[in-house]
Structure 1
Amino acid sequence: MFQDFIEILVLSAIQGISEFLPISSSAHLIIVSSLYDLKASSLLIDISLHLGSLIAIIFFFRKDLFSLKNNHKLLKLIIIGSVPLIIFGYILHSTELIHLLRNIKVIAWTTLFFGIILYFADQKKTDQNISSNLSIKSIIFIGLFQILALIPGVSRAGITMTAARFLNFNRVDSGKISFLLSIPALAGASFLGLKDIQNETLEINLLVIIAIVLSFLFSYITVKFFLNYLNKFSLNIFVIYRLIIALILLSIIYF
């Protein structure tokens, strides 16, 4: 039981921290899973981890979400921006093509390439914000970029922020756009997971509850920290981190 708890703690930390930072949660989970035989890892635990992150982001932005009933424009834009990912995600998941992308070589190259793209996007001037400049055209642009997040190593947070920064949105609002788009994305991932185990008996045990709670805590703290960070600093530290991880993986693969 203690070993299972430690594994859940590790998985929750990876999910909660990397889901909302531009470093790819799926890549980190795949890497850790390939290095260690995590006995506590399962589809139900995976759903629990995503559910914890979903609850955290909803709770953090609860005031903004409640205000959507008076801000139909933003609600419509979030829905429109999420449609491309939902459609392509369902196609890749139902055809099982998604499994072809879940390997270390793909992760290494996408981590490197999209880390470099993030660097150049973050150099853009910032004169756009959510309240005045988020439009159907801009959210479709960001939403189309978000499709790339289906490839492990790209990072959903990273690619949406990259697209927003290319459109000259400031860092904080780029982060907020990414966070708001994460709600349908996490809900969709949880739904697809539940669909996969619909014929199985769901056992809501202590480990599932712990996974949800820990994922919630790590996710909430990360979102709060990251928004404060974006107020003061560039994204260079995450670019450097991605380059280091990519170079380590590439050296392991090719040398």
Structure 2
Amino acid sequence: MFQNIIEIFILSLIQGVSEFLPISSSAHLIIVSTLYEFHSSSLLIDTSLHLGSLLAIIFFFKRELFDLKNNQRILLLIFFGSFPLIIVGYFIFKTGLIDLLRNIEVIAWTTFIFAIILFFADKSRFDNKISTNLNLKTILIIGLFQILSLIPGVSRAGITITAARILKFNRVDSSKISFLLSIPALAGASFLSLSDLTLEQINFNLQVLMAIILSFIFSYITVKYFLIYINKFSMNAFVIYRILISFLLFYLIY
């Protein structure tokens, strides 16, 4: 029992931190679960972890989400920008193609390649803002980029921030766009996972409750302090981290 609690804590920490940073949560969860053979890792726990992150981001942006009078345009744009990922993600999930990509070698290469792309995209000094520059064209372009996040190691946060930076948005608003796009993405992932669970598999126990609560806490803290960090610093720390992780994986593989 104690071992399961430790595993849930580690998985929640990884999910909460890596879901919203440009370092790929799916990659980290796959790597840790593969290397350490966690017994607590399951479809139900994965769903619980994503649900915790979803609740955290909704709670963090509750003012923007529920103030429909002032934010209706932005919320509609986020809705349309999520379509590409939802449609392609549903197809890949239902056909089983996603399982072909869930391996360490793919993660190593995508972690490295998209770190380099993020590095160059973050070099721009433009200052486009959500309030004035986010429109249907820009959100659809970011949404198309987001499809790449279905490949483990790409990072949904990383690729959406990269796309927004390429489109000349400042770092903070690029991150906010990424966070808002995570709501439909996490909701869709949770729904697809739940649809694959049978009634026998759905057992709301202490581990599930812990996964939701801890993932919520770590996700909320990450979002809050990432926005503070990115207001002062570049993405270089995350680029370096990704490159180091990829080199470690290359060493283990080759």
> Percent identical across equivalent pairs?
69
Which letter maps to 1:150?
L
**Equivalent residue, structure 2, for 1:121:** 121
Residue 40 of structure 1: how far off its partner (Å): 1.0
Q: How does 1:16-95 map to 2 (within 5 A)?
A: 16-95=16-95
CA separation of 1:248 and 1:78: change in aligned 2, threshold 3 A: same
Q: In 2, distance between residues paired with 1:251 and 1:189?
A: 32
Aligned-pair distance for 1:14? 0.4
- 1:192-239 per-residue CA deviation (whole Å, 9 max, x = no partner) reads 000001453421001100110000000000000100001100000000
Contact 1:68–1:74 at 8 Å: present in 2 too? no
- The alpha-carbon deviation at position 67 of structure 1 amounts to 1.6
State the match for 1:11 in structure 2.
11
Q: Which runs of 4+ in 1 moved over 4 A?
A: none
Stretches of structure 2 that go unaligned for 5 or more consecutive residues are none
Q: Which residue number corresponds to residue 187 of structure 2?
A: 187
Q: What are the superposed Cα offsets for residues 95-115 of structure 1, whole Å, 9 maximum, x if unpaired? A: 000000000010000000000
- Deviation for aligned residue 1:72: 2.1
The equivalent of 1:205 in structure 2 is 205
Q: Does the 8 A contact of 2:65 with 2:71 survive in 1? A: no
Contact in 1 for aligned 2:119/2:239 (Cα 8 Å) = yes
Q: Deviations over 1:151-172 (max 9, x none)?
A: 0000000000000000110000
Number of the residue aligned with 2:135: 135
Supply the RMSD in Å over aligned alpha carbons.
Answer: 0.9
TM-score (norm 1): 0.98
Distance in structure 1 (CA, Å) of the matches to 2:222 and 2:68 = 24
Q: Across the two proteins, how many residue pairs are aligned to each other?
A: 254
1:69-94 CA-partner distances (Å, limit 9, x unpaired): 43321111001110000001000000
SS at match of 1:23: coil
Q: Which consecutive residues of structure 1, in runs of 5 or more, have no partner in the other structure?
A: none
| 1-structure distance, mates of 2:72, 2:217 | 30
CA distance in 1, matches of 2:47, 2:96: 18
- Give yes or no for contact 2:118–2:239 (8 Å, CA) kept in 1: yes
Task: Provide the rounded CA distance (Å) in 2 between the counterparts of 1:5 and 1:120.
Answer: 40
